[in-house]
Structure 1
């Protein structure tokens, strides 16, 4: 978003970009401690580029949470974590995180009032620790300072890409309140906001100030079914380009009508996403290995259930050998239309109290306490009874387990046995036959001595996920002068985040085995099962996690002596902090491979460390027009790592109206708790033609060139990328430098451009899967450091080499990552007449290069593509991101229009294409959309009217032109669009109205 400073400025310091100057700097000239420094100065005196977003900016734009404002920063790109990801299987569900420079959430440091915050207990992609933006108490925020430069020399770890510093208000007097309501044009996702703030006392006059604030915010979920096509359906056959249409996913995999090509095959893979809800069964011999006939309805009288549509195969389709196991009539259910969630339900409320007191002699103390609760919830799909259970500790892979001889671990599909027997000590009997059991009423083939393989879902068990985060924070600051030239500051903070994650509607594997073995679950008529049976089959899974941080720091700063350009300033300080996380697995397998749930990931981590730090900063105005800044910090970790982080900055002002600035620094990122000590985690990667070779595919009657004709087992499959933690990781190291120019050609017109270049070495990563996959599919020995686990065979090709199910490897320090780009900013402000003022402000970021160099010297480039696919969750790295904000003030009336631009990108990713190259559209298997996803622009309109000094009414129209995101069928985390590029634009045209009162 465009960061517009307060509009009362008549003179701007030309040395600072327009987005970096605040009213406090311009109007009072007061020196404050700004982000990235321990010396007192104004933002005009810094050598690093800083963006400032004020509370007034948010109101002008119509943004009602600080979290959303940070997400809209132009420098936020690539692997950002938005609230919408919570509803699409994110590891760190319920959270939001910023990613400056495309370098991931763990390379951006988030501070509250210059102090660190506790990590969100769950890690992004199960590896990266970050601070949840939802924990920011919106109504007491004064401004957000974004340092677009490395800052490890001041703050230590994680400040490689930059720093986001949320600064709260120093004092508040009087009472203010706000009430707001909004809804989108289609009547979906209503949202409400209430807040009340009150304070009394003046620090300067009375010697104290105390204020308290509370707020409540809620937003209903937005479902795919509420949106127009193609965002509301799994069926892509209506997405066409030059006569070529997208794939009809096929019966039992998500589309209502068959494609123009007709029936595409009855899915028998172990991918749970391909199953509709209606139960089908097929006869197999008693050993559950040999087919005895086609699949058929388990309950023909009921037919297709839960809104699914029957489709009868044509004679040719039925006779096709590839459909040898297909029933004559199949059921098709669009899981996206029926169950898909675009944005989860949000509920946030909290309060803050802050007291500031003047202790005399200019010394000031403040104490602040915060509590914030954030609940994020969403519903999912009907519960699966057949899937891969994500990797745990003891058993790296298993398909559905069903207990008993025909259903041994690793068997391909769930099978209903011939006989059912009572459980013994809560477990199935080892042998169940005519001597101790009865014919299975759920198995229509029992009388013939055949088991019944079954696929489908539990129709009256709907998955539900809820994260409830409670954050407690207390902070104390004492600062002031020691003498005329020296000041001190002491800070202490304690913060804890408690997280409860509740997951309902997921099938517990052993209990499924039990109800299959004793026949207590009615598969024929699933709606006849009692609630007690459903509760037994799917017990609620509640997992409590927490993270803590306790920190203290002290510094002194002041002037040593005068130089030609001003005083030589020195600041020195020391700090200590203790940080910890305890996030147990929600689905471990310590009790055995079946004593867990389907689908739920096994991620879990814990750890604690203490960090001791010392830092210093020296600012030398050598000449009136040359200023040199030196800083450095040493950090020592109880976990055995240490780092020294130096920084040099120069500001050169040859004449009024022109400033040249630049910095060089080194930084580091400490291995996260999850990277150093966590249970194995698994993410699934969709199979592409590049994974295979013709020799291997010949077993399945196809080639790389005819990959789209391969069986569904190959073409629609995915393999699990299982990551193992490593306690021996070193910190990632970075070297970065910036160079910028700020130019003021006219009064109140400022232009700025800054170049940044970041090189991160020893980047922590999972080794490329390519060597292991190539070796496996070529029949060669698996390279050292990898473990490849084969999937269950394809029932239609039982003698072929199975596809890969999982590739396991440990994290390593291996790669070199480069991020290079330009930031642009412009601001102009004009008086057009009495009480009429027009302000235009724009900012944009351009990524020149984002790439990874591997140990073998090979390089993958990601800018302008969906890469780094694994790092960005497929949201990609668009080269441009910017916004343009225009505000017209006419007395009591204000009108603001803001355009946000998100660049397009190519549907390729070098980390997914194997030997593919950037720009080759390699992720699009069929040309039914353009290879280059077009750019995306939204326009927001906000207007406010001051009825009097105490009352303001405002109306926001968001996405005025109802411009929905461009079609992207590849990116995951959303259906047919990119959730980062699309942002809140997916809601379409939305309205919000509110009122503010002040007394």
Structure 2
């Protein structure tokens, strides 16, 4: 139960309540639409519900001399009917749809200081969530955070701001999924967060398939309040600070108006892998029985040579090493790392390996766990009575979020960036070798001012970077820049305004009119990335010193790696009108009707940060080239009918029709019922249909390419025989070009995609056997059909390598021939296919909630258990094949290999002692999983992705952490608090497969990867 208060009482409670009580209140009140907190929610006296817990909590709250945690019973405890996320109508008490409500007081009590962190910790958040840590690990949507309810991805979870839509983050997750960035929410004015755990809400239309997250801001504030806090991990990392200040004046009841302004500042220091304990701080995994992944002779290669330069004399074909030659260090030794001698066995295995290599621990030197994050912003709101029955408001928000980190050494050789328009070239010169990824760079014999045809230039001179120039041989060059690392920064500025009026007209008609506009201005700044044409320039004129990189001037480095700045934006404009009325009385109460309409415009303009429209060399290495643009206008009409047939039975029905300017349209119906046979028992259930509109990225984006390393399953013996090997000896006998090569999976947008459709139903029970004790169990089942997907490349690969006709829907692009095997069939460079509506996804599970509150003399004990059991998350394909992901790393392609957890949950216990002291302990649990993923061609839970079960085992273990918090109220105006996180200093279990972080799962671990940490602060209110 979430009790609401008058503005004066609420301001007092900001000081009076402990910041360490219950954080999650699982409230099964009917999901209803709350654009701003209605006046009826401000009453000070709670009312009784059909379940007895409301009365008990009213009695508890009436004990004004005591400091109590927030109530957690399964009813909305307020002074009248309220409107909650998911509905148009005012309703009192538990209703058909399950909702989780987190108030600002709740978050304070648990020590959660950002809205995005609170939402990420939801037990219903599973699978393809996007956390801040992904920013530092190459995420397409760097700098953002997104929720994924039910494991159905961020694009199937609708995020609202005061019940209205919000602008998308300009970049798409994995270049396909548009979402609302949780970092853009102004934490300091959030009153509560309502999470509708019932999919396909007919109140909101598209994208609510998995559920709705509605962030509701404060309706009014009177007085001055603020806080100052700072925290740091025990190891001296991840220092963070937060400052807030809010000031308001006026009383809506007495003066007819209220106005407040608020501002905040938040900073979180980035963390590098070297700051963590072993094994998370080193590429050398021998201490845990694994491989040494530092740059060593055993893994030396074109793309793994590390941040040092190696050269070898080239034969006349330019791209092939001279017979009998080996690579050797260029210059006087290792610019990075320590020299090591290559063993005889390694030299024999590869006759081109150098006798001396530089051992570089890339994880320790360059690895990043989380970026530097800085956020600040301001908000203002004015609310006023209009006549005796209406209320108008105007709210404005501004927020800036900056996220930055330093990455890996700059590369001079790599696969072509995603989004290329020139996938294949007919020659193997420096200028065309980049896209095919088929060979190293070549340092010519001569350099000159013209940079081309220097062999005949009048100003030619021997290349000072080529040690073989005097003998007339080119030098093949591999490695990376020893003197430059990449740096990435995203700066997001969000501007939002909302205005509206609501109240009663004609005596008994409730109405709302809301307007909102939101603009997201995103700037990406990237430094240290090699611009391909300029690399060719400095090779051609000899201006970059490859022999001694430390001697290069800043001007030379800046020329080679010019700053790349890309601006993107997104917009949302919406107008919405709703009216409702009680038509007549039924035996159980009034029959209510609500109708409404809305029109909104949404658009994204995110140009490619690395387009090659001017040619294949007019771009950077490794920067994602993804880009998209698009806009659409949507109009919708919706209606809802709530019928309390009799005291024990309420039936609710609703429907919405959406029409898109891009041609799509859809009708979303929903029906729900609540049956209360006994005062201690309530049964509820819903059935609904919904849809997800194709994202701008799916319909309008540039091609998106991901690179997959070849394995023996891609080939057959007939093909490999041309290269002197077989499937059986693939890893030992096949040439590096085949064994270590990769192919690009290029996905093309499809403007004619249809909406994904969903069917979902829920069923639950609420039990309150005695006062102060409640239990909830809610089953959910969501099926999405026509799911948008790319075609499986394995079908095209099999046809190509067997010499068969390439199936319809695919385009296979072959690489340039290998100079060592010029007559062999080239390997595949790219497999291209369009997105299609093809698959069926299913998500099924059970939510559990248990809440208790007891008084023992001077002590009040509150306990809350909140957990989700994921029974199924699967994809079925048109050919009848089915992939199941629960308890594995799948859906690997959606989750960055972070998997689908069978269990997630937390258990909080708070003891309020007297009116000044409160203690809270919170246990957080996430289950383990098998190192397999059916979407990566393994069986279900067959350990198929484990690199070596001898040291990793086949499962990643479950993860349990404990947080403890204490709060002391000095007086009515001042409170001190201390938050302690991961107090047992437990690090997450080893996971060598997940690629969103190094050796651990960032969704499973969260910020607990920092170890034990503390935060202390003070808050005041006048």
Cα deviation digits, residues 214-247 of structure 1 (max 9, x gap): 000001110001111111122233322xxxxx23
Q: Distance in 1 between matches of 2:454 and 2:744?
A: 34
Provide the residue aligned with 2:870 in structure 1: 847
- Look up the match of 2:14: none
8 Å CA contact 1:177–1:196 kept in 2: the answer is yes
Correspondence for 2:86: 36
Number of the residue aligned with 2:631: 608
Map of 1:782 onto structure 2 = 806
Structure-1 residue corresponding to 2:312: 282
How many Å apart are 1:411 and its aligned residue?
5.5
Alpha-carbon distance, 1:398 to partner: 7.1
Work out the CA distance in 2 between the residues paired with 1:350 and 1:210.
Answer: 18
Deviates more, 1:182-191 or 1:2-11: 2-11
Matched, 1:917 2:929: no
Q: 1:315 to 1:126 in 2, by over 3 A?
A: closer
**Mapped partners of 1:590, 1:247: distance in 2:** 42
User: Who is 2:209 aligned against?
Assistant: 160
**Partner SS state of residue 25, structure 2:** coil
Deviations 1:580-616 (A, max 9, x none): 1100000011101110001011111111110011000
Moved more, 791-800 or 715-724: 791-800
Greater shift, 467-476 or 525-534, is seen at: 525-534
Residues in 2 aligned to 1:311 and 1:410: alpha-carbon distance in whole angstroms? 28
Inter-partner Cα distance in structure 1 for 2:552 and 2:143: 33
Q: Classify 1:92/1:265 alpha carbon distance in 2 versus 1 (closer, same or farther; 3 Å).
A: closer
- Contact 1:754/1:824 (8 A) holds in 2: yes
Question: Which secondary structure does the structure 2 equivalent of 1:773 belong to?
Answer: helix
C-alpha displacement at 1:543, in angstroms? Answer: 0.3
For 1:867 and 1:34, the matched residues in 2 are separated by 34
Pair 1:81–1:401, CA change in 2 (3 A):
farther
Question: Using a 3 Å threshold, how does the CA distance of structure 1 residues 740 and 795 change in structure 2: closer, same or farther?
Answer: farther
Q: Give, in angstroms, the shift of residue 393 of structure 1.
A: 4.5
Separation (CA, whole Å) in 2 of partners of 1:687 and 1:815: 26
Change (3 A) 1:488 1:16: farther
User: 1: distance between equivalents of 2:403 and 2:575?
Assistant: 32
1:627-673 per-residue CA deviation (whole Å, 9 max, x = no partner) reads 11000000000011001000000111111011100000000000011
Q: Offset at 1:11?
A: 7.2
Q: Distance in 2 between matches of 1:902 and 1:180?
A: 28
User: C-alpha displacement at 1:8, in angstroms?
Assistant: 11
Q: Secondary structure at the match of 1:158?
A: coil
Partner residue of 1:309 out of 312, 325, 338: 338
2:114 to 59, 65, 83: 65
Deviations 1:523-543 (A, max 9, x none): 111111111111111110000
C-alpha separation in 2, matches of 1:216 and 1:448 = 63
Q: Which whole-Å CA distance do the structure 2 matches of 1:813 and 1:5 have between them?
A: 35
Mind listing any 5+ residue stretches in structure 1 that lack a counterpart? 241-245
- 1:776 positional shift: 2.8
* Cα root mean square deviation, aligned: 2.5
Q: How does 1:331-480 map to 2 (within 5 A)?
A: 331-396=358-423, 403=430, 412-423=439-450, 428-430=451-453, 432-433=455-456, 437-480=460-503
SS in 2 for 1:238: helix
State the match for 2:561 in structure 1. Answer: 538
Provide the residue aligned with 2:976 in structure 1. Answer: 953
Residues 796 and 885 of structure 1, relative CA distance in 2, 3 Å threshold: farther
Match of 1:767 among 791, 796, 806: 791
Moved more, 509-518 or 802-811: 802-811
The answer (yes or no) to whether the contact 1:278–1:456 under 8 Å persists in 2 is: yes
Deviations, residues 878-930 of structure 1 (Å, cap 9, x unaligned) = 111111111110121111111111111111100102xx311101112422211
Q: 1:933 to 1:766 in 2, by over 3 A?
A: same
Deviation readout 1:5-62 (Å, 9 max, x if unpaired): 89998977649999998799755332221000011124x2431000001111111111
Cα distance between partner residues in 1 of 2:920 and 2:499: 38
TM-score (norm 1): 0.93
Residue 202 of structure 2 aligns to a residue in which SS? helix
Distance 1:437 1:239 in 2: 55
8 Å contact kept, 1:361–1:481:
no
Say if 1:662 and 1:738, in contact at 8 Å, map to a contact too.
Answer: yes
**1:792 CA drift (Å):** 5.4
* Residues in 2 aligned to 1:867 and 1:673: alpha-carbon distance in whole angstroms: 25
Alpha-carbon displacement from aligned partner over 1:666-687 (angstroms, at most 9, x marks no partner): 0000001111101111223344
CA–CA distance in structure 1, aligned partners of residues 510 and 173 of structure 2: 40
Q: Mapping of 1:94-243 within 5 angstroms?
A: 94-240=143-289
1:651 correspondence with 2:674: yes
Residue 229 and residue 741 in structure 1: after superposition, are their counterparts in 2 closer, same or farther (change >3 A)? Answer: same
Q: How does 1:814-853 map to 2 (within 5 A)?
A: 814-834=838-858, 836-853=859-876
Aligned to 1:495: 518
- 1:15–1:658 contact (8 Å) kept in structure 2: no
1:248 to 269, 277, 292: 292
Q: 1:402 to 1:956 in 2, by over 3 A?
A: farther
Contact 1:152 1:633 in 2 (8 A): no
Q: Helix, strand or coil: the match of 2:936? A: coil
Q: Does 1:624 align with 2:673?
A: no
Asked whether the equivalents of residues 386 and 399 of structure 1 are also in contact (C-alpha less than 8 Å), the reply is no
| Residues 15 and 659, structure 1, Cα contact 8 Å, conserved in 2 | no
In structure 1, the residue matched to 2:41 is none
Question: Contact conserved, 1:412 with 1:792, CA < 8 A, in 2?
Answer: no
In structure 2, do the counterparts of structure 1 residues 952 and 713 end up closer, same or farther at CA, with 3 Å as the change threshold? farther
TM-superposed deviation, 1:815: 0.5
User: What CA distance in whole angstroms lies between the structure 2 residues aligned with 1:334 and 1:791?
Assistant: 32
Q: Which residue of 2 is the match for residue 746 of structure 1? A: 770
Is the contact between residue 178 and residue 696 of structure 2 (CA under 8 Å) also seen in structure 1? yes
3-state SS in 1 of match to 2:369: strand
> What are the within-5 Å matches in structure 2 for residues 496-515 of structure 1?
496-515=519-538
Residues matched between the structures, number: 968
Tell me which of 959, 982, 985 is aligned to 1:936: 959
Cα distance between partner residues in 1 of 2:436 and 2:455: 17
Q: Report the secondary structure of 2:455's partner residue.
A: coil
Range 55-64 or range 665-674, more displaced:
55-64
How far apart are residue 77 of structure 1 and its match? 0.5
Match of 1:243 in 2: none
Tell me if structure 2 keeps the 8 A contact 1:13–1:26. no
Deviations 1:931-956 (A, max 9, x none): 01111111111111001111110111
Per-residue deviation, 1:825: 0.6
Residues 947 and 588 of structure 1, relative CA distance in 2, 3 Å threshold: same
Partner SS for 1:154: coil
Distance 1:397 1:571, change over 3 A: farther
Q: Does 1:266 align with 2:287?
A: no
Provide the secondary structure at the position in 2 that maps to 1:48. Answer: strand
Rounded to whole Å, the distance in 1 between the matches of 2:454 and 2:209 is 61
1:669-748 to structure 2, matched below 5 A, reads 669-697=692-720, 704=727, 708-709=731-732, 713-714=737-738, 716-748=740-772
The aligned counterpart of 2:929 is 905
Quote the Cα distance in structure 2 between the aligned partners of 1:582 and 1:625.
52
Q: CA deviation at 1:4?
A: 3.5
Q: Which runs of 5+ in 2 are unaligned?
A: 1-21, 28-43, 58-68
Deviation at 1:775, TM superposition (A): 2.0
**SS of residue matched to 1:527:** helix
Contact persistence 2:817–2:825 (CA under 8 A): yes
Distance 1:699 1:898 in 2: 61
